[in-house]
Amino acid sequence: MSSGSNNINSVFYADSYHPIQAGSIDGTDVLPHDNAVLRAHLCSNAALYDPLGDPKIIGDPYRTIFVGRLSHLTTEHTLRKAMSKYGRVKNLRLVRHIVTGASRGYAFVEFESEREMRRAYLDAHHSFIDDAEIIVDYNRQQLMPGWIPRRLGGGLGGRKESGQLRFGGRERPFRAPLQPIPYEDLKKLGIPPPPEGRYMSRFQVPSPPRKPRRLAEKEEYSHQRSSAEREDLSQRSSSMERDEHRRTKGGRQDSRKRSRVEEECKYGKSPEDRLEYSPNSTPTERDHNYKWSSSDREEHYHSRSTAERGEISQKRSSRDKEERSSKRHRHHSRSKH
């Protein structure tokens, strides 16, 4: 008696999707009980549905939740505001009718981290948005093997009024079977049998799939590598800018030196000297002369003083020659007389 009582309160959840099993309240049916289940079974056998073929699917499925039973008045802004209570929303897609643009009543919300996704998965289930009680599940479309959507006769949950209930999900789990389990028939159809001895309580929350460690490590390595590449690129660009600045600065200095030398050769004085001795030079221009480097100034004045001394010595020698020549001439004329 106690064993039967325990089975009544025990449930289990589907890890993979099989249309015939999803149409069974205890997961042991071997024949489809309605036409929608038959249609879903045919689609599954013929591989007519590709869960990854939707071009609108974006983001990481391990960080994405499914939000169903939304009010048709709920907008993207309202849903984002409601989901922001559980974490940082990265992407949000409210599914709309392709012709009318009206809301289909469900959406996919991606969070910045897997931890925030799990928080929303636990706390947002059966909460209210725009006076509508919503349901929250993980992204079964991408993470549940064999998934067939509701529009093709599959899906999970459903309302009693529709007459097409689907079991094995968070909203309607499988009940522990009260009759013998047909293991051979289930094996022929590829349906996993109920997990005897490992049933869960109705009040326990099934955990969503976790990202495989290998995939998580690969993404982390890729993120670290991209960060290192960005940092290396930034350092290279800054180094190139510094080198370019140095080359530009050195070229300007060489150009100024060449122009100064050319002007000195042409006029005999440097631009600073011309400004210094020009009566029309302004105080600012004269102050600029004093900012000229001391080494350049000493070199310039040294070369100028050397040239001036040479010129003076030449003048003195020529003057002395003339005086000596005149003295000889006078002495020679006196000796004749």
Question: What's the pLDDT tens digit per position in 104-155?
Answer: 999 999 999 999 999 999 999 999 999 999 999 999 999 999 999 998 999 9
Domain boundaries, the chain: 2-210, 215-271, 293-336
Does residue 98 contact residue 150 with C-beta atoms inside 8 Å? no
Amino acid at 119: R
User: At residue 11, what are phi and psi to the nearest 5 degrees?
Assistant: -140, 170
226: pLDDT strictly greater than 90 = no
Instruction: Count Cα neighbours of 280 within 13 Å in the Cβ-side half-sphere.
Output: 0
DSSP assignment, residue 144? S
CB atoms within 10 A of CB 117: 25
Q: Rounded to a whole number, what is the distance in angstroms from the first to the last CA of the chain? A: 172
% helix / strand / coil in the chain, to the nearest 5?
50, 10, 35
Average pLDDT, the chain: 81
- Which residue has tokens 């000229």? 292
C-alpha–C-alpha distance, residues 62 and 58, integer Å: 12
Task: Report the CATH number of the 2-210 domain.
Answer: 3.30.70.330
Digit-coded pLDDT (tens) for 183-197:
999 999 999 999 888
CB atoms within 10 A of CB 168: 25
C-alpha–C-alpha distance, residues 164 and 37, integer Å: 9
Does residue 10 contact residue 200 with C-beta atoms inside 8 Å? yes
Instruction: Count Cα neighbours of 52 within 13 Å in the Cβ-side half-sphere.
Output: 8
pLDDT class for 55, splitting at 50, 70, 90?
Answer: confident
> Token pair of 184, please?
């051979």
C-alpha–C-alpha distance, residues 164 and 38, integer Å: 12
- Where is 191: in which H helix or E strand? none
- Where is 5: in which H helix or E strand? helix 2-8
Mean pLDDT of 173-202: 90
Does residue 102 contact residue 72 with C-beta atoms inside 8 Å? yes
- Where is 96: in which H helix or E strand? strand 89-96
C-alpha–C-alpha distance, residues 14 and 23, integer Å: 12
- Which residue has tokens 């802004």? 77
Listed residue (62, 14, 38, 299) closest to 164, CA to CA: 38
Q: What pLDDT does residue 31 have? A: 92
Strand order in the sheet with 103-111: 89-96, 103-111, 64-68, 135-138
Residues 6+ apart with CB under 8 A from 184: none
Does residue 16 contact residue 146 with C-beta atoms inside 8 Å? yes
Q: What pLDDT does residue 2 have? A: 46
pLDDT class for 173, splitting at 50, 70, 90?
Answer: very high
C-alpha–C-alpha distance, residues 64 and 111, integer Å: 6
